[in-house]
Amino acid sequence: MTDQRPTLADVARAAGVSMAAASRAMNGAYGVSEAVRHRVRSVAAELGFEPHAVARALATGRASAGRRERIEVLILDPDPDAMSAKPFYGRVLTGAMRALGDQGIALEVRRVSTLPVDDADPPFGRLLINVPGDAGAAYARRGRAVALGRSAPGVAFVAPDNDSGGHQAAAHLVSTGRQRVGAVFGPPTPCAQERKAGFLRVMAGAAQEVAVADGDFTRARAYAAAQELLARDPKLDAVFASCDVTAMGVLQALREAGRRVADDVAVVGFDGSALAEAADLSSVYMPVEDEAASAIRHLLDPVLPAPARLPTRLTVRGSSVSRPRGRLDAGPRCPTGPASPGASR
């Protein structure tokens, strides 16, 4: 007797999708849009298709006990204490977990000093952080990958409007009358370079020179860089720090030099992390959690539109606004204004 039960090929043909897409839609795997998943399952129900449980487990990799699909967060950072020292990474993980919800997919975090060359057990997809363009392209060719911050051409990425953030920081310092401005910029990554470009463009337009020191998004390097700036110009009256961790090093150097923050030297950071709020630091806020969540959603469903630049916004606090003697309040805490339209760490 011939078995006339509908097959997965019948379902795929009727739904107008490939066998692979039909399989993923039926198995609850990732990589198809919700619309495709709904259409395939509706067709399957109409045809009376019933997937074989064992075949489904094998197709999704769940036949082995405890095996789940996973997304790897690959962080290139030589600092062994980076995960605790840099709030950015914790915010990334928060956003990633929000996007995954209870979908049954594991999140694996891997911090490395040098990029791994082997890929014996590749994950379902990778979220790349600080991975340079060529390496990012290589990972994208191996499988699904989305970078936080601009990467090589052809590699999907999600990033805040860093250029606008740098622009806002510089405009604030110029508008408050700061004349001897220094900056501790970040490493040669796209996100750091975008912040630098936005900041310097405004300063050039205001015909103001900037004393520049290179940083690496660590407190120790920022502390040394701020000391270098003060040695070059003891009358420095403002410093832009390319991230909030960098700003902590700048603040330490200023305190040790006897310079009063805001009254003598204004300080503006970048990230808008909990560090900024705790230190009463003016800082450009970037929505890191939303950035990571958007990247994860794009990994799960690549047919989604390419993510747009996320807006940044400067929040002014006491570190950049001089206060009259005797006042105990923390000064203005309102944003300076909306970020300009689209121009990582």
* DSSP output for 179-225: -SEEEEE--SSHHHHHHHHHHHHHHHHTT--EEEEE--S-HHHHHHH
| Residues 80 and 31 both lie in one domain | no
Number of domains within the chain = 3
Name the least confident of 48-57, 58-67, 71-80, 202-211.
Answer: 58-67
For the entire predicted model, the pTM comes to 0.76
| Residues 153 and 273 both lie in one domain | no
Nearest-angstrom CA–CA distance, 206 and 121? 53
Sign of CA dihedral 79, 265, 271, 331: positive
Place 325 in a pLDDT band, splitting at 50, 70 and 90: very low
| Residues 228 and 86 both lie in one domain | no
Strands in 313-315's sheet, in edge-to-edge order, are 210-214, 181-185, 238-241, 266-271, 282-285, 313-315
Q: Which of 158, 177, 200 is a domain's end point?
A: 158
Is pLDDT of 68 > 90?
A: no
Nearest-angstrom CA–CA distance, 67 and 329? 54
Neighbours of 221 (CB within 10 A): 19
Q: What is the pLDDT of residue 331?
A: 41
| Residues 177 and 313 both lie in one domain | yes
Assigned domain for 340 exists: no
Place 16 in a pLDDT band, splitting at 50, 70 and 90: confident
| Residues 105 and 167 both lie in one domain | no
Is pLDDT of 339 > 60?
A: no
Q: What is the pLDDT of residue 185?
A: 97
Is pLDDT of 134 > 70?
A: yes
Q: What is the pLDDT of residue 57?
A: 43
* pLDDT tens digits for range 248-262: 999 999 999 999 999
Assigned domain for 212 exists: yes
State the pairing for strand pair 157-158/144-148: parallel
Assigned domain for 129 exists: yes
User: SS3 of 149, please?
Assistant: coil
Assigned domain for 345 exists: no
Give mean pLDDT, residues 185-208.
96
Is pLDDT of 342 > 70?
A: no
Is pLDDT of 223 > 80?
A: yes
Nearest-angstrom CA–CA distance, 100 and 103? 6
Domain of residue 281, residue span:
162-287+305-320
Q: What is the pLDDT of residue 29?
A: 67
Q: How far is CA 154 from the centre of its chain?
A: 18
Place 30 in a pLDDT band, splitting at 50, 70 and 90: low
Is pLDDT of 338 > 50?
A: no
Distances (CA, A) of 134 to 64, 72, 139, 159: 35, 19, 9, 18
| Residues 166 and 283 both lie in one domain | yes
CB 120 within 8 A of CB 277: no
- Name residues whose C-beta falls within 8 Å of residue 188's C-beta, 6 or more positions apart in sequence: none
Whose CA is closest to 96, among 290, 310, 323, 286? 290
Quickly tell me which residue has 């860093």 as its tokens. 162
CATH number of the domain that residue 250 is part of = 3.40.50.2300
CB 266 within 8 A of CB 254: no
| Residues 168 and 316 both lie in one domain | yes
| Residues 222 and 237 both lie in one domain | yes
CB 5 within 8 A of CB 50: yes
Name the least confident of 60-74, 121-135, 195-209.
Answer: 60-74
Is pLDDT of 1 > 50?
A: no
Assigned domain for 1 exists: no
| Residues 242 and 173 both lie in one domain | yes
Nearest-angstrom CA–CA distance, 127 and 296? 7
| Residues 309 and 187 both lie in one domain | yes
Whose CA is closest to 72, among 92, 101, 58? 92
Q: How far is CA 22 from the centre of its chain?
A: 32
Nearest-angstrom CA–CA distance, 249 and 227? 10
User: SS3 of 144, please?
Assistant: strand
CATH number of the domain that residue 32 is part of = 1.10.260.40
Assigned domain for 175 exists: yes
Assigned domain for 198 exists: yes
User: SS3 of 207, please?
Assistant: coil
* pLDDT tens digits for range 282-323: 999 999 999 999 999 988 887 778 777 999 999 999 999 976
